[in-house]
């Protein structure tokens, strides 16, 4: 499974949204209905799934699906 698919699945699972809603431009808070706790949980999920540490400063920038995928791809390459 590639990173994009994994991330998409995690978002669907964590935020309880439809897979079609998880577009690259979708903002976690604006479009996918996440609150601040959800975003923290999501980052923790990413850390767990990909076995990495995401610094708080980096996490703050991961506001959309696309930004999260891009970040994770860079970290894992």
Active site residues: 35
Q: Residue 9: in which H helix or E strand, if any?
A: helix 3-15
Contact between 37 and another protein (CB under 8 A)?
A: yes
User: What is the rounded CA–CA span in Å between residue 7 and residue 46?
Assistant: 8
- Sequence-distant (6+) residues with CB within 8 A of 21 are 31, 32
- Tell me which of 16, 29, 35, 60 binds another protein, using CB under 8 A: 35
Q: Which is closer to another protein, CB of 46 or CB of 69? A: 46
Q: What is the DSSP letter of 64?
A: B
Q: Among the candidate windows 19-27, 37-45, 51-59, 69-77, which touches another protein by CB under 8 A?
A: 37-45
Binding stretches for another protein (CB under 8 A): 35, 37, 41, 44
């Amino acid at each position: 499974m590639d990173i994009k698919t994994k991330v998409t699945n995690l978002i669907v699972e964590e935020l309880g949204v439809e897979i079609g809603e998880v577009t690259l431009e979708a903002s976690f808070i604006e479009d996918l209905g996440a609150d601040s706790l959800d975003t923290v949980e999501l980052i923790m999920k990413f850390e767990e799934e990909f076995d990495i540490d995401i610094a708080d400063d980096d996490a703050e920038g991961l506001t959309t699906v696309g930004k999260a995928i891009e970040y994770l791809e860079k970290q894992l390459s």
